[in-house]
Structure 1
Amino acid sequence: MNGCTAQDFRTLFRRLTTGVTLIAVAGEAGPIGMTVNSLTPVSLDPPLLLFCASLTSATAKRIAAVGSFSVNVLSADQQDVSMHHAGRPLPEPTWRWRESECIPWIEGANATFRCRLVAEHPGGDHRILVGGIDEMFGPAIAATPLLYHGGKYARLPYNEIDPYERIDDFWWTG
């Protein structure tokens, strides 16, 4: 890494505050998912997004096999969902799964994007997955977002919604 250690890389990137998302896919025995903070919008026309997943990720392998998934932007009160899918499973889930066209998603997320896998690219010890958005929806007023900073969860001290951010309950299908 040109004199930069993996630890240096992690330390500096932990200074970047990100939102927290749950990527979900239909598994053999029900929904499976992974917590991701590498979500990025790619294109408005056509609507595309991308995220990165470890080469060893079972969820990413399942997405490649079935070709569809959901991205759920988590709110501050959904930290348990994130922790569960980041490898600290809870004995009893506190969230509700929903399903649309065989794609599972989490009830109560700030935003949900139902996607089909349109591209996959190598990225070192990760893979970059690009999703074409077929449907997206969310509540009229977003809840306080779940954030990640410095290797731990964070939240805004308040949730002041800009009037231009307010929408009617939103549902779009491409």
Structure 2
Amino acid sequence: MDDRQFRNAMGKFATGVTVIATETDGQVHGMTANAFMSVSLDPKLIVISVKEDAKMLDRIKESNHFSVNVLSCEQQEESMIFAGQKQPEEEFQFDYLEGVPVVRNALVQLSCEVYNEHVEGDHTLFVGRVTEMELKDGDPLIFNCGKYRELKEMESVSN
């Protein structure tokens, strides 16, 4: 199988869209990612996956903190900005949670400290210990087969 075929297969799995953010030397950096999952309730741990050649890799290692921001269905533009697909019209403004930059109005904002890291293939998996969380109501932004999507309720099936 070739790389494109594998990537297409993985794209069939619908995911939420997050922005990972950190701050180094007074500069905030963000990156769109869909490789995110929860791992443990006790302690509260999550995992993100960052490609080895991504600038964010060294920035997270330097700061030892990062945020995970689950985007709402109204935040496609933010996803595109941090994926490098769109230039912001003005400087992007972050909020802060426990001293870590977070995306304003995200459905979920998680402030994390690096708990562990593992190099696997061409990515580093950062295990983050969640130190604080903010939660808002709303529907998530979904990504599937290379396109942004929104949730839609289905009619229940009766037996």
TM-score by length of 2: 0.90
Residue of structure 1 equivalent to 2:20: 23
Deviations 1:44-89 (A, max 9, x none): 0000000111101111210111100110000011111111111123
Would the aligned equivalents of 1:95 and 1:107 in 2 still touch at CA under 8 Å?
no
Say whether residues 1:146 and 2:141 are aligned partners. Answer: yes
Looking at structure 1, the residues matched to 116 and 143 of structure 2 have their Cα atoms a distance apart, in angstroms, of 27
Question: In percent, how many aligned pairs have the same letter?
Answer: 35
CA distance in 2, matches of 1:18, 1:95: 24
For the structure 1 residues 65 and 135, does the alpha-carbon distance in structure 2 shift closer, same or farther, using more than 3 Å as the test? same
1:7 CA displacement: 1.4
> After TM superposition, which residue ranges in structure 1, 4 or more long, deviate above 4 angstroms?
none
Q: Which range moves more in the overlay, 43-52 or 82-91?
A: 82-91
1:156 maps to what in 2? Answer: 151
Q: What is the aligned counterpart of 2:75 among 78, 91, 98?
A: 78
Q: Give the Cα–Cα distance (whole angstroms) in 2 for the partners of residues 130 and 39 of structure 1.
A: 10
Letter in 2 for 1:14: G
Matched, 1:9 2:6: yes
Greater RCO (CA < 8 Å, at least 6 residues apart): 2
Tell me the equivalent position of 1:127.
124
* Uncovered stretches (5+) of structure 1, i.e. residues with no partner: 159-174
> What is the CA-CA distance between 1:29 and the residue it aligns to?
4.8
Query: Quick one: which amino acid aligns to residue 125 of structure 1?
Result: D
Residue in structure 2 matched with residue 106 of structure 1 by the alignment: 103
- SS of 1:89's partner is coil
* Residues 127-159 of structure 1: CA deviation (Å, up to 9, x unaligned): 1111000111112xx21210000011111136x
Matched, 1:91 2:88: yes
2:52 corresponds to:
55
1:34 to 22, 31, 38: 31
CA RMSD of aligned residues (A): 1.6
SS of alignment partner, residue 79 of structure 2: helix
Gaps of 5+ in 2: 154-159
CA distance in 2, matches of 1:102, 1:89: 27
CA shift, 1:101, in A, is: 3.8
